[in-house]
Amino acid sequence: MAAEFHTTEQCPFDLKHTQLAAMKTSGCRILLFILSLSSLLCYIFLDPALYLQEAQPAVHQRNISILLWRWPFGRSYRLDGDKCLEMYNICRCFLTDNTSTFSTADVVVFHHQELKEGLSSLPLHLDRPSSQHWVWLSLEPPVNNANLTPLSGLFNWTMSYRRDADIYIPYGKTMLGREAQRFQAAPNRSCLVSWVVSRYRPQQARAAVYQSLKKYIPIQVYGKWNKKPLSNKKLLPTIAKCEFYLSFENSEAKDYISEKLWRNAFQAGVVPVVLGPSRATYEAMTPPGSFIHVADFKSAADLATYLKQVAADRQAYEEFFQWHHTHRIKTYTDWRERLCQICVHFPRLAASRVYQDLESWVHS
Ligand SMILES: *[C@@H]1O[C@H](CO)[C@@H](O)[C@H](O)[C@H]1NC(C)=O
Ligand SMILES: *[C@@H]1O[C@H](CO)[C@@H](O)[C@H](O)[C@H]1NC(C)=O
Ligand SMILES: *[C@@H]1O[C@H](CO)[C@@H](O)[C@H](O)[C@H]1NC(C)=O
Ligand SMILES: *[C@@H]1O[C@H](CO)[C@@H](O)[C@H](O)[C@H]1NC(C)=O
């Protein structure tokens, strides 16, 4: 279990009033205030929780400007003011989508979807400062990232849900602490399993599992494919009516665990039946004892039998929610939060690096 703590203090050097108040709540933080120069030691020796954290943010000392070349899927967010500081308490991290600032940007981020036209989508006609880092960003599995070959030798960092990306931006993460979401011990759920699917393809692994499973148990299917789309408002309440949710990824790719698990199942408060990367990957990324993995069953019949058994046994069902006492989850949905993460990772990123073969990296 790679539990992570959420640090709110990325900005110990330029304190605001609210941060000062927060600091007074713990000895470490007061020390950190007094001994601002030894803040790193304070983090490590006085707050073991932070020391345990896998992705320990180091505090970068200078301003970092991040230029987002095109908004992912054409949907823009407001960037006025200092969003990283105001929204996420990450300091000295300035986001812009003003492409005229190219020559002064420390980091330029390119989202894969907007590179579909190949090299013509990139500012190759402009003088690229030698210290500037280009980031290739995608939250999609390899199957959706076509045409990578022309992009070889251009990017310095990768930004993805993959744990081995330079900038790791998962769809969600597990943290220590209690889950705030209340769980009703024995809700009378009116159905056994639900599944929301918009792009159903018969050749996908998840389609085969669904087709076999529905021979043994009823499955409530929603989404575009079934012509029963759910609005954002209806999504979680509808899923919450069933005991289990099929968190089936559209492809089984290394570390690819999407909002189908973090939002659809965990936020709805139902037990996820997962199909995606290996059990070991789920164990490393999700709360303990929180899911049922399709690969653990010899057949769809066995899985169906197991689901019926668990649904009929309140105690067994509630076991899947034990983690609510010790862990909580955090989901990421705002592109700005993801972009601000670049600054959190910045001090640890390779100063000079080039992805000579992005295609191989994506498929590795
Ligand atoms: C960093 O940015 C802040 C806010 O724009 C500015 O006041 C400060 O002078 C900058 N520092 C450096 C070293 O450029
Ligand atoms: C974009 O950046 C350029 C160069 O810094 C600046 O002159 C221009 O005013 C900016 N445009 C907007 C809309 O902020
Ligand atoms: C659940 O529903 C059944 C049948 O409708 C009812 O007998 C039972 O008391 C309900 N249980 C709870 C906890 O509401
Ligand atoms: C980033 O990648 C470019 C293109 O390969 C390369 O020329 C440049 O040296 C790299 N920059 C850094 C800082 O590594």
DSSP collapsed to 3 states, 87-156: HHCCCCEEEECCHHHHHHCCEEEEEHHHHCCHHHHCCCCCCCCCCCEEEEECCCCHHHCCCCHHHCCCCC
Nearest CA to ligand 1 atom 11: 63
Nearest CA to ligand 3 atom 5: 188
In a domain, 346, yes or no: yes
Whether 213 and 309 share a structural domain:
yes
Residue 182's pLDDT is 58
Q: What is the rounded average pLDDT for all residues in the chain?
A: 86
Q: What is the pTM of this model?
A: 0.84
Residue 117's pLDDT is 83
Whether 160 and 216 share a structural domain:
no
In a domain, 34, yes or no: yes
Q: How many domains does the chain have?
A: 3
Whether 186 and 312 share a structural domain:
yes
Whether 114 and 219 share a structural domain:
no
Nearest CA to ligand 1 atom 14: 63
Nearest CA to 6 among 343, 335, 336, 329?
Answer: 329
- CA 277–ligand 2 middle distance (angstroms): 44
Nearest CA to ligand 2 atom 6: 100
What are 199-251's pLDDT values in tens digits? 999 999 999 999 999 999 999 999 999 999 999 999 999 999 999 999 999 99
Whether 197 and 313 share a structural domain:
yes
Catalytic residue among 4, 9, 140, 249: 140
Whether 131 and 25 share a structural domain:
no
Domain of residue 352: give its range: 64-169+333-362
In this model, does residue 61 exceed pLDDT 80?
no
Q: Which numbered atom of ligand 3 lies nearest the CA of 187?
A: 13
Whether 145 and 187 share a structural domain:
no
- CA 99–ligand 2 middle distance (angstroms): 8
CATH number of 235's domain: 3.40.50.11660
Q: Which numbered atom of ligand 3 lies nearest the CA of 188?
A: 1
In a domain, 225, yes or no: yes
In a domain, 118, yes or no: yes
In a domain, 269, yes or no: yes
Percent of the chain with pLDDT over 70: 82
Which residue from 107, 109, 157, 354 has its CB within 8 A of the most atoms of ligand 4, so it is best to mutate?
354
In this model, does residue 30 exceed pLDDT 90?
no
Residue 315 Cβ inside 6 Å of ligand 2? The answer reads no
Whether 69 and 104 share a structural domain:
yes
Taking residues 3-10, report their average pLDDT. Answer: 44
Whether 191 and 147 share a structural domain:
no
Whether 193 and 321 share a structural domain:
yes
In a domain, 57, yes or no: no
- CA 95–ligand 2 middle distance (angstroms): 13
319 included as an active-site residue:
no
Whether 198 and 313 share a structural domain:
yes
Whether 162 and 179 share a structural domain:
no
In a domain, 54, yes or no: no
Taking residues 80-89, report their average pLDDT. Answer: 96
Nearest CA to ligand 2 atom 11: 98
In a domain, 213, yes or no: yes
Residue 188 Cβ inside 6 Å of ligand 3? The answer reads yes
Residue 315's pLDDT is 93
